[in-house]
């Protein structure tokens, strides 16, 4: 996953991503470019063109921190996102706050209607995980599942998880 808060979304970036995918013989759908909902650019038209080209090449697009900025619905209607990541502030509040729960539930439903996958950020307890499964959230991330880690530690974590449950390889795409 490429986090766009660390790169400038411009024409050279778009070309570099496509070139690197081809040079390393990667499946384009295995790469996801992640933008925060409030990502700004000096030239919105250029940004939309770059993102559309990346999608045409099969590269996925994720909108991160969904629900935390004013432009969410406008962005969803103009950018061909493949993944909607629901901000952790709603996940942590949904068990005790009916409004947060309604936002999470409607965000998942909206993503399904737009043929997008959903990711819940900041899952910290079994209650949240159970409720998200009931809401049909596709994926989750948070300390309940695993803390943030470097790539090398991720490989060890996957191996350990596989030893405990060999069926995990299907859910990890292995």
Instruction: Select which of 37, 74, 121, 126 is catalytic.
Output: 121
Does the annotation count 121 as an active-site position?
yes
The C-alpha angle with vertex 16 and arms to 10 and 22, in degrees rounded to 5, equals 145
Task: Report the C-alpha gap between 20 and 23 in whole angstroms.
Answer: 5
Cβ neighbours for 153, distance < 8 A, ≥ 6 positions apart: none
Token output for 127:
């209650």
Task: Report the C-alpha gap between 42 and 54 in whole angstroms.
Answer: 19
Task: Report the C-alpha gap between 150 and 159 in whole angstroms.
Answer: 15
Cβ neighbours for 145, distance < 8 A, ≥ 6 positions apart: 123
Cβ neighbours for 15, distance < 8 A, ≥ 6 positions apart: none
Task: Report the C-alpha gap between 49 and 87 in whole angstroms.
Answer: 26
Residues annotated as part of the active site? 121
């Amino acid at each position: 996953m490429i986090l766009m808060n660390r790169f400038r979304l411009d024409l050279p970036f778009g070309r570099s991503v496509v070139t690197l995918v081809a040079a390393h013989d990667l499946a384009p759908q295995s790469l996801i470019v992640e933008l925060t909902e409030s990502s700004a650019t000096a030239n919105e038209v250029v940004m939309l063109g770059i993102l559309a080209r990346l999608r045409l090449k099969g590269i996925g697009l994720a909108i991160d921190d969904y629900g935390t900025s004013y432009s969410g619905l406008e962005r969803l209607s103009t950018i061909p996102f493949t993944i909607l990541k629901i901000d952790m502030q709603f996940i942590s509040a949904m068990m005790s706050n009916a409004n947060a729960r309604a936002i999470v539930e409607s965000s998942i439903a909206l993503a399904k209607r737009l043929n997008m996958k959903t990711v819940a950020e900041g899952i910290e307890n079994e209650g949240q995980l159970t409720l998200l499964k009931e809401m049909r959230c596709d994926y989750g991330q948070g300390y309940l599942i695993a803390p943030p880690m470097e790539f090398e530690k991720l490989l060890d974590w996957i191996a350990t998880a596989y030893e405990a449950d060999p069926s995990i390889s299907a859910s990890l795409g292995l």
